[in-house]
Amino acid sequence: MKTQNGERDVDLCTPLAAMLKEFMGTRTSGLLFCRSSGRQILQTDILRDSLHLILKKLEHVEGGSHLRRFRITELKKFRLP
C-alpha cells in the first residue's frame, strides 16, 4: 500500500466472497481487475463499457458512482464529517 490508510476491511456476503476468492486464485500481488496488458481498468471505462450498456438494455437511466475524493477543507466547508 502507498499509505497505511490505503488498506480497507470490506464485509462481503459468503457467496460473493467465495466467487472473488476463486477469481483471485493464487495471486498475491498486482491489480485484481486489470486489462490484459496489466494496466488498471478506469472507472469511466467500466461505466462506459459495461454498466451503461446494461442500464440501456433494461431501459433504465444511466448512472454510476459519483464518489469523489475531497480535501478535508472542502468537507469542513460543507460541515461534513
Stronger pLDDT, 66 or 13, i.e. the higher one: 13
Residue located via cell numbers 460541515: 79
Residues listed for the chain: 81
pLDDT at 16: 92
Q: How far apart (Å, rounded) are the C-alpha atoms in residues 41 and 33?
A: 7
pLDDT in tens, 16-60: 999 999 989 998 888 888 888 888 888 888 888 888 888 888 887
Tell me, rounded to whole angstroms, the distance of Cα 34 from its chain centroid. 12
Coil, strand or helix at 69: coil
pTM of the shown model: 0.46
Query: What cell does 21 get?
Result: 476468492
Q: How far apart (Å, rounded) are the C-alpha atoms in residues 72 and 81?
A: 9
